[in-house]
Structure 1
Amino acid sequence: MTDAISSILSQIRAHETRMRGMSDVASGNGIAPTAGSATGGVEGASGGGFKSAMSNAIDNVSKVQNDASQLQQAFEMGDPKADLARVMVAMQQSQVAFRATVEVRNRLVQAYQDVMNMPI
């Protein structure tokens, strides 16, 4: 279980690092649900379902942040298709998505610490 949490934390840190130095072009600006996220089942022990769901969610957050950054840059360059309302909505979507991801990470770490502190 320690390896899974360490893997998730390292993926989040890698995405944060990429976001600091990245301003690539991406298309769209919506937050799409990940496949299997509404199933409610935990498949981590059987094959990595949870790991892939978390990876997809982190990739989705990265995509949303890239989209918002691209839209912001287009607005600053004077692109008529990038109006202020769309830029603000995209920035808020990326902020909410990132905060949700950080909150999930914090809860996973707290749950792990609670399990490790349980008496045997």
Structure 2
Amino acid sequence: MNVTSGMDQILAQLKATSDLAAGGSKPSATVSTVSQADFGQLLKSAVDQVNTVQQTASQLSREFVGGNQDVELHDVMISLQKANVSFQSMIQVRNRLVTAYQEIMNMQV
């Protein structure tokens, strides 16, 4: 599973839960399929993939600075940008999760 599909599944599950809590209709078939997946496992998988991308970028950077002739600057820069984009995406997912949690906690019972 790649990071994007994992995050899309998490966001779809959050949206379905939010719609249901707001008095919306029952979740659609695609959302119910997503909710069958373990939420914690999806989140852990996404974080692990972001971590792997960052470690790879860090390793390439160390090799380039260390003088490894097989590592080129453009490979290092691309790897660092991929790590940055992955991390920024994870931050946005975290922000949405926190917002959803706060909305749920502010609901009156």
Higher share in helix: 2
Which residue number in structure 1 is paired with residue 35 of structure 2? 42
Q: Matches of residues 104-119 of structure 1 in structure 2 within 5 Å?
A: 104-119=93-108
One-letter amino acid matched to 2:87 = F
Name the % identity: 36
Of 81, 88, 91 in structure 2, the residue corresponding to residue 99 of structure 1 is 88
One-letter amino acid matched to 2:35 = V
Q: How many residues align?
A: 84
Question: Any unmatched runs of 5+ in structure 1?
Answer: 1-31
Partner Cα distance (2:35, 2:95) in 1: 18
Q: Structure 1 residue 98: deviation in Å? A: 0.8
In the superposition, the TM-score normalised over structure 2's length comes to 0.69
One-letter amino acid matched to 1:119 = Q
Give the SS at the match of 1:96: helix
Q: Structure 1 residue 42: deviation in Å? A: 2.0
Question: Any unmatched runs of 5+ in structure 2?
Answer: 13-33
In the superposition, the TM-score normalised over structure 1's length comes to 0.63
Runs of 4+ in 1 over 6 A off after TM superposition: none
CA RMSD across the alignment: 1.9
One-letter amino acid matched to 2:95 = N
Of 55, 61, 67 in structure 1, the residue corresponding to residue 50 of structure 2 is 61
Give the SS at the match of 1:42: helix
Q: Structure 1 residue 80: deviation in Å? A: 1.6
Partner Cα distance (1:49, 1:115) in 2: 20
Residues 17-71 of structure 1: per-residue CA shift (max 9 Å, x gap): xxxxxxxxxxxxxxx715x73665123xxxx611111101101111111000000
